Amino acid sequence: QLQLQESGSGLVKPSQTLSLTCAVSGGSLSTGAYSWSWIRQTPGRGLEWIGYIYHTGSTYYSPSLESRVTISIDRSKNQFSLNLTSVTAADTAVYYCVRGGTAPTYFDFWGQGTLVTVSS
């Protein structure tokens, strides 16, 4: 059974970089049929897709976040990561790592989510 588990700092200072990792078990990131996304959720803005990566390393980002986002993949560890730079309080959210298909795609497996708070 596929499982996705987010980890990383739960508290980030404004202007710093938010870093999260998603460990994948029960399946391989190297399978070509899937994309690996980060999606966040806030009470005010709801669910927001951040971007995804394929096993090849190709990435696609939300235009509204593209200038601050990097998603990377580590096939040897079967995990992928999110870096979001220059964070503000508006980046406070629950962050989910999520599996989808090849584009265009819906999202069929979600991690449990991790709360990241941006505060000094």
Report how far residue 98's alpha carbon sits from residue 108's, in angstroms, rounded to the nearest whole number. 7
Report how far residue 108's alpha carbon sits from residue 89's, in angstroms, rounded to the nearest whole number. 29
Closest approach, Cβ 57 to another protein, in A, equals 20
Nearer to another protein, 91 or 111 (CB): 111
Closest approach, Cβ 16 to another protein, in A, equals 26
Residues in the chain: 120
Chain residues in the site for another protein (CB under 8 A):
46-49, 62-63, 96, 103-108, 110-113
- The β-bridge partners of 83 are 19, 70
Closest approach, Cβ 91 to another protein, in A, equals 18
Nearer to another protein, 36 or 96 (CB): 96
Tokens of 97: 């790592």
